[in-house]
Chains A and B, each alone.
Chain A
Amino acid sequence: MANWKKLLSGTVLAVGLLSSQMSTAAHAADKVRIALLVKSLGNGFFDAAHKGADEAAKELGNVEVIYTGPTSTTASGQIDIINSLIAQKVNAIAVSANDGDALVPSLKKAMQRGITVISWDSAVAKPGREMHLAPSSDALIGNMCDKLAADALPGGKGDVAILSATATSTNQNTWIAEMKKALPKYPGVNVVTTVYGDDLADKSYRETEGILKTYPNVKVIVAPTSVGIVAAAQAVEDAGKVGQVFVTGLGLPSELAGHVDKGSVKSFAIWNPIDLGYAATTIAYELATKKAEAKPGAEIPIGRMGKTKLDENDQAAMADPFVYDKSNVHEFAKIF
């Protein structure tokens, strides 16, 4: 009977859950079930995080990872999934939020039902989660972007342009602010403009062409967005400026391997999403099994990655972004 009920709620849930997962869910009641709820399915970054989560599950033994998310990056899609996860009585939800505030009510409901809720990658507002695991700290990312730009500039000196996502995207705006804060450490880096490609390939491409035309002295374009960096690299190649203008920023190895080969990208960075999924799953497990508690100052062990410490807002940062270049990009391109 209990199994039937679970199967029923499983079918109601539908979104993103494969039937095979549902049937195992019904049989594995004694396992700790951790839902890894991502911004959207079909994103290489989150698929890699899923790999890390599976790795953590294997290490921990009695953990079942439910990888799920809406098909497009909407808050409402995530809310529907959270409601069905509550009905499904999972033990923990680890979410990368499309909207940090909109998810709070349904996540609060989940916590009232005894479900452990943490956010990772993209944060949920404080009332809606027990803790947040940031892939890296904003300051570390901003600093890394400056460092990448300085490394790509001939002699570490010259004009730099920034290609962002939308003018309202929180992540990019924070990172760019941190970049500007860290600039005094890199006196050769002269940021001349910030443009917005809206995370659309065609608009980012056009904005890059615009940079090349309006600022002929720009030697480096920093794009802290995965769509933007690919489009910028392509535009630089099409304009025949490989070797004169370098593109760097945040992107995925598989998406940039070709551009590293062509020479438009020397090096770029991204936190290791496998580590991120691994850490989020491990933390969710520690909290769900009451082995650790989320409170300011608490230290939570994260398996092979050591441990992480929560700040006064119950936030923890994982590590420095990882730098990829010719020497390692193809190796990682096979993974994510």
Chain B
Amino acid sequence: MIGFLLKRREPQIFAAILVLIALISTRFPGFAAPANLAEVFNDTAILIVLALGQMAVILTRCIDLSVAANLALSGMIVALLNAAHPDLPLAVLILVALVSGLLLGAINGLLVWKVGIPSIVVTLGTLAVYRGVIFLLAGGAWVNAHQMSAVFLNMPRSVILGLPVLAWTGVLIVALGVLVIRYTGFGRALYAVGGNPVAAVYAGLDVGRTQFLAFCLSGLLSGLCGYFWVSRYAVAYVDVANGFELDVIAACVIGGVSIGGGIGSVAGTVLGAIFLGVIKNALPVVNISPFWQMAISGSVIIIAVVFNARAEKKRGRLILKQARTAS
């Protein structure tokens, strides 16, 4: 049992989160209160959703640096639409955000699949392109709170059964994520393609197509988050969520997703995101220097990567040992 706990990444992060919350509570007692934890979860929901999309991409040995730019562009599109046509129903706007995110993700996917450019280069390029397009669309102007309709602003904040809609959306996406990864061919293909692309081809899987679909998924979720982000912070501008892609990747890495592909779980990624979310929400209340904040966030990521690297190394050695005993 203990061995199982030590080997698995999820219980480790879960324990780390509990320790973290306990530590924070010693300095700010109100932190562990259920209402506050619900707020933290609500605040982290966007990160969780994006991290799940990113996980799918990283599993296939790719990376999507354009998630935050995609989020910002999709968010700007719906904000502009809402400002120009306040009567448009919210469902239409959310659909627009989803479609826009999906298309932007598909562009990444096609470039990786059909043109064969490494994903880090593709998405580094589209990151800049998408930000540029926001500028062109809005002419550099902000879309502000008073230009958005009340429905548009209130949806993520309306509370159902004690939690805001934004948090429930996070829960729903996590549930869907578990189902897709466990019970669909696509979910299993993600692992196969990333774990061993050559074997995947022999097994009849199209590596490029799976990567394309992973980018589409990541884009779709980014589009959805675009609406939520703009609505939550009631403002849309070029630099929305600037640098957030790094938080998203960090959440995956902390959650045990291997940058080398093929390793990772929904639970781990969600916990990784929550871990970052707890830190982000705790730092303002425990009153420490902003320079320490950066150092702490950075150290956590490095520690997580060290853990990942060790876990993967062990796996390699194990196979060799077995091979020796067999011969």
Contact = CB atoms under 8 A, between A and B. Distances in A.
Interface of A: 41-44, 47, 71, 166-167, 193, 195-196, 198, 200-203, 205-207, 209-211, 213-214, 230-231, 234, 238, 254-259, 261-262, 333
B189 interface: no
Interface residues of B, number: 38
A257 B284 contact: no
Interface stretch (B52-60, B202-210, B234-242): B234-242
Contact of A166 (B235, B285, B290): B290
B315 interface: no
Interface in B137-153: 138-142, 144-147
B240 A238 contact: no
B240 A201 contact: yes
Contacts of A257: 144, 146
Contacts of A193: 287
Nearest to A255: B144
B291 A258 contact: no
A44 B30 contact: no
A44 B142 contact: yes
Contact of B285 (A214, A256, A258, A262): A214
Given A193-B287, A202-B241, A206-B281, A234 B146 contact: no
A71 B146 contact: no
Interface in B3-41: 28, 30, 36, 39
Interface in B264-304: 280-281, 283-285, 287, 289-291
A71 B287 contact: no
B66 to A, nearest CB: 16
Interface of B: 28, 30, 36, 39, 43, 131-132, 135, 138-142, 144-147, 157, 229, 233-235, 237-238, 240-244, 280-281, 283-285, 287, 289-291
A289 B290 CA distance: 48
B176 to A, nearest CB: 24
Contacts of A43: 140
Nearest to A166: B290
B290 A234 contact: no
The 7 closest A-B pairs by CB, nearest first: A42-B140, A210-B284, A258-B146, A258-B145, A201-B233, A167-B290, A196-B290
Contact of A258 (B36, B131, B144): B144
A202 B233 contact: yes
A207 B281 CA distance: 8
B300 to A, nearest CB: 17
Contacts of B229: 202
B233 A234 contact: yes
Contacts of A259: 145
A263 to B, nearest CB: 13
A255 B30 contact: no
Contacts of B157: 238
Contacts of B30: 213
A47 B237 CA distance: 14
A214 B235 contact: no
Nearest to B39: A209
A234 B284 contact: no
B291 A167 contact: yes
Contact of A42 (B144, B238, B287): B238
Given A47-B140, A209-B39, A214-B285, A261 B28 contact: no
Contacts of A206: 43, 280-281, 284
B140 A41 contact: yes
Contacts of A71: 131-132, 135
A200 B283 CA distance: 15
B145 A254 contact: no
A166 B290 CA distance: 8
B135 A42 contact: yes
B138 to A, nearest CB: 8
Contacts of B43: 206
Contacts of A209: 39, 281, 284
B284 A211 contact: yes
Contacts of B141: 42, 44, 47
Contacts of B240: 201
A71 B242 CA distance: 13
27 contacts: A42-B135, A42-B140, A42-B141, A44-B142, A71-B132, A71-B135, A166-B290, A167-B290, A198-B290, A201-B233, A201-B240, A202-B229, A202-B233, A202-B241, A205-B233, A206-B280, A206-B281, A209-B281, A213-B36, A214-B284, A214-B285, A230-B144, A231-B233, A256-B144, A258-B146, A258-B234, A333-B146
